[in-house]
Structure 1
Amino acid sequence: MDKIFQLFANSQKQFINILRISIFIVMAWIGGLKAFPYEADGIVAFVSNSPAMSFFYNNSSKTVVNEEGKTVAEYTQYKNPEGKTVLKNIEWHKSNGTYVFSYGLGIVIFGIGILVLLGIWFPKMGFFGGVLTFGMSLVTLSFLMTTPETFVPNLGGDFPTPHFGFPYLSAAGRLVIKDIIMLAGGLIIASESAQRVLKTKDE
């Protein structure tokens, strides 16, 4: 058993590089998908409800009365289910600035992924990539507090004690909470990169 412990102990550097590669894959994949309408549509609820990001959209503060006579955020009436395209919804998203913002966000996310990956060879780049990964994850996790869709809504029904609200995460909430792993990963690679930078200066 000691040999296994020793193997893992001696492999920490390689494991941190695997973490870098893993973060790069996530960033590159998700960043790349931001160029496609379905992914851009999917982040509207998060951005519209975020005090730090809602200004990127043109219709964030607009409300409408839905079919049930309730006043709701306008974006809720223009959701495109994944795998389905509705022309009127596409036109609304164009006027909202949904796609332009998504393209820009995708470039930023992809760029952070590149910095993280380059950290394997260039520790200063890796440091900034790690810090930016931490910052991006912090913003994403804030959506748990600002986006109603991250928790299961109370839709009623026959069950005597329906599960809704905190702590019952919806699909969107479960997607967001996983960023806490990215947050920790960003700190680890930033710390390791900083150690390598300082070691170079001491030599």
Structure 2
Amino acid sequence: MKTKLQSMFVAALTLAASTQKLGINLIRVAILVIFVWIGGLKFWNYEAEGIVPFVANSPFMSFFYTHSAPEYKEYKLKEGEFDAVKHEWHKENNTYGFSHGLGILIMTIGVLTFLGIFWPKVGLVGAGLAIIMTLGTLSFLVTTPEVWVPDLGSGESGFPLLTGAGRLVIKDTAILAGAIVILADSAKSVLKQLKK
């Protein structure tokens, strides 16, 4: 009985071990889906308006906007809300133009990463860009005040208490890890091609 269970366990482990390439390619598919979806949303006003606190507070991106932080706080809109005055401010701020460009970049990174299944050199570029993108996103944990629960009297505020925006950002650690796996897999494939 013990030998039978052990052989079943070994068979299960052997099967699990054989799924590595499938898992790596599923990471590519996941990055494609996430990046194309999120990138596509950047063409909708509510999404463009939603990223303003991140961009305005970032020393690496704030120059894309006309107005500097914290002026945007007066022009925040809830998802789905419309206010003509605030909308005009966002147009003037380049909120929508920047978001459209970012959307194209994000979708391109997703597609390049996915194409690594067929062309490792392309996947290598995509994975490298995905790593840079996720590191940029994770930098918002340092630069954006809105990622931490504010002190509004409850006694529960600041680090390590993440707001909805902060919880959204921290999830990029998983995408970063996946992109590193993809980078390594693509690099192995490219090295094999170079040795032929």
TM-score, structure 1 as length reference: 0.91
Q: Quick check: 1:102 aligned with 2:99? A: yes
The alpha carbon displacement at 1:4 in A equals 1.4
Runs of 4+ in 1 over 4 A off after TM superposition: none
Q: Deviations over 1:62-107 (max 9, x none)?
A: xxxxxxxxxxx21001111012111111100000000000000000
State how far apart, in whole Å, the 1-side matches of 2:34 and 2:120 are: 20
Residue of structure 2 in register with 1:115 after alignment: 112
CA distance in 1 between partners of 2:73 and 2:13 (Å): 52
- Aligned AA (1:166): F
Among residues 172, 176, 179, which one is paired with 2:169 in the alignment?
176
Amino acid aligned to 1:178: K
Q: Note the 1:15-30 alignment, pairs <5 A.
A: 15-30=23-38
- How many percent identity over aligned positions? 52
The runs of 5 or more residues in structure 1 that have no matched partner are 62-72
Alignment match, 2:66:
58
Q: Spell out the pairing of 1:40-79 with structure 2 (5 A cutoff).
A: 40-61=48-69, 73-79=70-76
Superposition RMSD in Å = 0.8
Local SS of the residue matching 2:112: helix
Structure 1 residue 198 corresponds to structure 2 residue 195: no
CA distance in structure 2 between the aligned counterparts of 1:199 and 1:20, rounded to whole angstroms: 20
The secondary structure found in structure 1 opposite 2:139 is helix
Q: What is the CA-CA distance between 1:173 and the residue it aligns to?
A: 0.4
Q: Which amino acid aligns with 2:138?
A: L
Larger % of helix: which? Answer: 2
CA distance in 1, matches of 2:165, 2:97: 22
The code of the aligned residue for 2:195 comes to D
